[in-house]
Amino acid sequence: MPAKIFPAAPVPARPLIVLIVADATRSNDPALTQRKIQLYVDGIRRHGGNPALVSAATPDAERNRLIGEMAGLLLTGGPDLDPALYHEAPAGAVDLDPARDALDRLAWAEAERRAIPVFGICRGLQAINVFSGGSLVQDVPSHAGTPYGAGPAKTHDMEIDPDSRLARALAAGDSEGLAATDEDDDTPEMVVNTYHHQAVTQARLGKGLKAVGWASSEAGRLVEALESHDDRWLVAIQCHPERTESTPDEFEGVWEAFVRAVRRTAATPPA
């Protein structure tokens, strides 16, 4: 008797991506917080994802349902992580939000358990590093930049590992590819915005992560992008690509690569 063939599960046209975001109701400027959140939503929607917002204000049942059903996770920007998470006393960290730390950690643990794609932005990069056993430089004033909405973004150069998942995604976002800027060096560089005052260095990098982007600072060479050592789609960047007015067009390739990875993972049956 021939084996029965079961039809493959349908691939979701718009895979569910959870965005861990700030609780706007607790913000000093709820309207500005909502504007910031909307930029992340737009980035996911532009490339075919179905964004679902989860904050500390989300009811527990809804939070658990969304995190349990998510096909991808976006950890967004926000306040400083509590240094206690990496066994240090405060030495520059401000505006701590334990509820946000706990929420990021909960979502990260589920994403790790199911090995689904994760994209980290700014605080998201720092959270991924800390949750992976790394730590942070608690204050790098030169990278803090202009508060969002208070004027043009401050920018700096970022070097990018040409043999990285990030570089391939950026190259896909440019019709001419990602070219090196120095004929004597094959390392591409891009000008990116900067809105962070905490950072990761190579010495503070978490387990299973590799640095793929760097920038200079008074605290030394900072890790401005990281990704997983294995084949899982895990990419984090310190700049804010959702703020398109101060972001190179190539970063659309990173949004596209993330949503594509989420769709591909959602279509793959669990082992």
Name every residue whose Cβ is closer than 8 Å to that of residue 86 and which is 6 or more positions away in sequence: 130, 134, 135, 136
pLDDT tens digits along 26-72: 988 999 999 999 999 999 999 999 999 999 999 999 999 999 999 99
150-174: average pLDDT:
93
> What pLDDT, on a 0 to 100 scale, did the predictor assign at position 4?
42
Does the pLDDT at position 129 exceed 60? yes
pLDDT tens digits along 200-209: 999 999 999 9
Quick count: other Cβ atoms within 10 Å of Cβ 238? 30
Domains of the chain with bracketed CATH: 16-266 (3.40.50.880)
> What pLDDT, on a 0 to 100 scale, did the predictor assign at position 149?
84
Query: From CA 30, how far away is CA 266, in angstroms rounded?
Result: 34
pTM of the model: 0.91
pLDDT band at 229 (very low <50, low <70, confident <90, very high): very high
> What pLDDT, on a 0 to 100 scale, did the predictor assign at position 12?
59
Query: From CA 171, how far away is CA 208, in angstroms rounded?
Result: 24
DSSP string computed for 28-88: SSHHHHHHHHHHHHHHHHHTT-EEEEE-TTS-HHHHHHHHHH-SEEEE---SPPPGGGGT-
